């Protein structure tokens, strides 16, 4: 049974810092992994989709890496801004394409 | 392109009542998923439709939950009768292909009192 752990559970940083969010999963037999953000009271916004054949994906200030063999993915946020404050969720794809979520990392970026 | 639409956005019902949640996926997306997040827990899979067929309903908690997808378009999730532990946020998501990127709706916050 796939289990997803995200570390840290919460993070508070001053604006401008570069930061790394970590995600680990127990079953490396995944094929894709997706990172989302969730703003309070809102739905999930897709950030990056990493396919199994890829090792990383980049979008603007975001970079996500995937190491299937070690069961890890990281989300790197460069030059953080207050607007980045949200909960970040990592979700590898399980059997049948269903997503398996971790508890998320709650990020607060202070001006 | 219109996103995934869910309604109502909030619902407060009494224990024992019936509630129906609706999800309109992105047009042309054959795959439709329901997930939910109960207080303090991670988001968990409920079920997966491919067009009008249930592909996987292994996450449905019990037989008080009934999901349908009429004609492979919108989907409904009915809870009957609702219990206190059903409170949470119910999300719907759709994708064009299985295993490809998902688009989520804003969710329905269900409160059973």
pLDDT tens across B56-95, in order?
Answer: 999 999 999 999 998 889 999 999 999 999 999 999 999 9
Residue of B nearest to A104 (CA): B42
C-alpha–C-alpha distance, residues B57 and B76, integer Å: 14
User: Which residue from B minimizes the CA distance to A40?
Assistant: B106
Mutate to test the interface with A, among B9, B43, B50, B58 (most CBs of A within 10 A): B43
B90 touches chain A (CB under 8 A): no
Measured between CB atoms, which of B44, B98, B106 is closest to A43?
A: B106
Nearest to B102 among A34, A95, A96 (CB): A34
pLDDT at A28 over 80: no
Q: What percent of chain B has pLDDT over 70?
A: 99
Mean local confidence (pLDDT), A77-93: 96
Share of chain A above pLDDT 90, in %: 75
Among chain A residues, CA nearest to B90: A43
Of B33, B42, B59, the CB nearest to A102: B42
B103-104 and B75-79 strand pairing: unpaired
Cβ neighbours of B33 in A, within 8 Å: 98-99
Q: Which of A89, A69, A77, A75 is nearest to A5 (CA)?
A: A89
The partner residue sitting opposite B104, judged by closest CB among A44, A96, A97, is A44
Whether B96 has its CB under 8 Å from any CB of chain A: the answer is no
CB contact under 8 A, B104 and A43: yes
Rounded to an integer, the average pLDDT of A82-86 is 97
Give pairs for B1-5: CB < 8 Å, separation 24+: B1/B26, B1/B27, B2/B26, B2/B27, B3/B103, B3/B105, B4/A43, B4/B92, B4/B93, B4/B94, B4/B103, B4/B104, B4/B105, B5/B105
CB pair distance less than 8 Å for B99 and A93: yes
**Residue-level pLDDT at A21:** 96
pLDDT at B1 over 70: no
């Amino acid at each position: 049974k796939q289990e997803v752990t995200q570390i840290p559970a919460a993070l508070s940083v001053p604006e401008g810092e570069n930061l790394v969010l970590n995600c680990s999963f127990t079953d490396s037999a995944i094929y894709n992994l997706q990172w989302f953000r969730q703003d309070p009271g809102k739905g999930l916004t897709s950030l990056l989709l990493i396919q199994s054949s890829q090792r990383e994906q980049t979008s603007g200030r975001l970079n996500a890496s995937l190491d299937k063999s070690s069961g890890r993915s990281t989300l790197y946020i460069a030059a953080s801004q207050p607007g980045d404050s949200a909960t970040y969720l990592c979700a590898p794809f399980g059997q049948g394409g269903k997503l398996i979520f971790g508890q998320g990392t709650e990020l607060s970026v202070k001006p | 392109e219109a996103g995934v639409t869910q309604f109502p956005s909030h619902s407060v019902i009494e224990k024992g009542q019936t509630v129906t949640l609706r999800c309109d996926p992105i047009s042309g997306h054959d795959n439709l998923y329901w997930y939910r997040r109960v207080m303090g827990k991670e988001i968990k899979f409920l079920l997966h439709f491919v067009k009008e067929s249930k592909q996987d309903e292994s996450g449905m908690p019990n037989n008080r939950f009934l999901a349908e997808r009429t004609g492979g378009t919108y989907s409904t999730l009915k809870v009957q009768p609702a219990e206190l532990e059903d409170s949470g946020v119910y999300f719907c998501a759709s994708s064009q292909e299985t295993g490809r990127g998902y688009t989520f709706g804003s969710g329905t916050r269900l409160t059973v009192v």
